[in-house]
Copies of this chain bind each other. A is one copy, B any other.
Amino acid sequence: MKLTLKEIPLDSPFALINEQNFPKAITYPCQLRISFDSTYFPVQAYLTSKYVDKGEIGLSESVIKRYGLLEGTEVDVQTRRTFDSVAHRLIIDKVKGNMLNKEDMDTITKGFMNAEISPSHSSAFLLSQHFTEFSLDEIEAMARSFADSGKIHDFSAPVFDKHSIGGVPGNKITLLIVPILAAAGLLIPKTSTYAITSASGTADTMSVLAPVELNADEVFDLVKKTKGCIVSGRDMGIAPVVDKIITEAAFPLGIDPESLFLAGILAKKLAMGVDFMCLDIPVGTGTKVDNEEDGRTLARLFVSLASRLGIKAEAGLTYANVPVGHSIGPALEAAEALDALAGKGPTSLVEKSCELAGIIFELAGMTGRGLGKPFAADILHSGKALKKMREIIEGQGGDPKISSDEIREKLVGKPVLSYQAPGDGWPHTWNNYALKEIARAAGAPGDRLAGIQILSKKESVRKGEEVFRVYASSDSALDEVRGLIAKLRPVIVESVLLERVA
C-alpha cells in the first residue's frame, strides 16, 4: 500500500503504522518492506493508534536520513502478515518444547506455501529440528503434510522406487536400476533431482540421453508402455513445500536436520504413490554418513517411518570411500551408464546397481531372499536392461540409438587437464569432497560435458602415468581446477613405503 512518510520522535530502527491501515489487528511487531524509487528497505513495524495517522508511516529521523528520504514522500509499504500468523506461533511453541501434530504441520506447511513464514521463523523451524529430536509421530506428520502440499499421484498399480541420499560422486546407479526393474515388469516412475551441491544429479545425467522435463500426463502415458522412466518431476507438483523449505531455510544456514531430510524424502515418495522402495545410504569419508553405525541408525529410522506411511522399505548401506565407477559429471556419467548397461561397466557401478535392484526384487517378492542380486545381474547381462533403457530414452524424446562413443566424441576439443602419478605406486585414497569440488569448478553440472574421468582408480601406476583427467568449460575453469587439485589433493598415489624416518 502507498503510505506517506512522517518523521517520528523516536530514535529507533522500527516504523510506526496506524492500525487502521491494516484490515486486522497485528499485535506483534510485523515485518514491513518500504520501497521508493528503485530502492527499498525492511523495517519492523509497530502499530499505533495515534502517532501516525491512517495513510502515514512513521520513521525516525535517523532512518529517514540513512535512506535519504524526505518527510511527506509517498512510499510503498508491504507486509506479509507474518508475525501474527498461527504458523509463526506454532514454530515458536515448538522452539519452546511443544509437540507438533498433523494439523500444526499442515498450518506450517501452508505458511511456507503462502510465503508467510519470515526468514527468522523458517530458521527457527529448521533449528528446532537441529537442536531437538523430533518424535517419529512428528516426522510422520511432517511427511504427510509435505506430501499434501502438492499432488498425490495414483498409478493404480504397485509403484517401486530407489532413492539415494547422495553424497558420493559418480553415483549414476539410477540409470542402471530403473531399466533393470522395468525390464522385469516392475513399475518405477522415477523422479530425480538436478544437482544442488554435487557435480551431477541424476536429472543432469539423464538429460544427456533424453529430455527429462515430462509433465504428469506424459509420465503416466510413458510408464504405461515402458514401466519405467527417469524424469525431473519438477512439473509434477510433488511435495513442493520441501524444496521451498530447503531453499529458504536449509540452504542459507547450510544445515540439513535429519528429521527434515527424512520427511522430505518420504513426502515425495508418498506423492508418487510409492509402495516399495530401497534406500541407498552411501557410507564413507566425505559423504553424508561417514560411519556404518550412523548409517544403520538412519536406515532403521527411515524403514520405520516408511512403514508408518504404508511404504515397505529396505535400506542398503553402500561403500562410498571412493566414487562410484570412473566418471563424474553429466556426460561422462551418462556414457559410463550406457557402457555398464552394455556389459562394459566398471565393477563398482555394476555391483552396486545389482545389489540395490536385487533388494527391490526381493521386496516385490519376485525372488527369494539373497536371490535378488543375481536376478538383477542376469537381466543386465542379458541385454534386456539396455534394451529397456533405449525404450525409455525414446519414450522421453531422446535418441534411442545414442552411444557412449558418440557422447565422448563431444568432449574432443574441450580444455583438458591430465593428472599424472607423481611416482610409482597406486591411488590408495580418493577424496570425494575434493573430486566433487574439482568437477564443479570444471563446470559440471552446468556444462554437461565438464567432469572427471578416472583412468586408474585402484590399479598400480608408474610415475607419469595418467590417473585422472578433467574436462573443463574454459581455460579459466581449468586454472581453478589446477588450484583446487593443489589445495585439496583429490587422490594420494603412493608406494608401500610411505615414509622413511632416520
Contacts and interface: CB of A to CB of B under 8 A. Distances in A.
| Copies per assembly | 2
Interface in A418-472: 443, 446-447
A51 interface: yes
Contacts of A194: 10
A326 interface: no
Interface string A120-138: 1111100110111000000
Given A234-B11, A252-B118, A48 B123 contact: no
A156 interface: no
A477 to B, nearest CB: 7
A249 B120 CA distance: 7
A35 interface: yes
B127 A49 contact: no
A160 to B, nearest CB: 26
Interface string A458-494: 0000000000000001101100000000000000000
A477 B253 contact: no
Q: Give the interface residue-count category, chain A.
A: 35 or more
Contact of A123 (B39, B123, B248): B123
Question: In terms of DSSP, what is the predominant structure of the interface of chain A?
Answer: mixed
A473 B127 contact: no
A70 interface: no
Contacts of A446: 48-51
A83 to B, nearest CB: 6
Max chain B Cβ within 10 angstroms of own Cβ: one of A120, A121, A251, A254:
A120
Nearest to A9: B213
Contacts of A477: 49
B40 A35 contact: yes
Interface in A222-258: 234-235, 243-244, 247-249, 251-255
A95 interface: yes
A28 B254 contact: yes
Interface of A: 10-14, 28-29, 31, 33, 35-36, 38-40, 44, 48-51, 76, 78, 83, 92, 95-96, 118-124, 127-128, 130-132, 194, 234-235, 243-244, 247-249, 251-255, 443, 446-447, 473-474, 476-477
Pairs of residues from A and B, 3 with the lowest C-beta to C-beta distance, nearest first: A119-B119, A131-B131, A123-B123
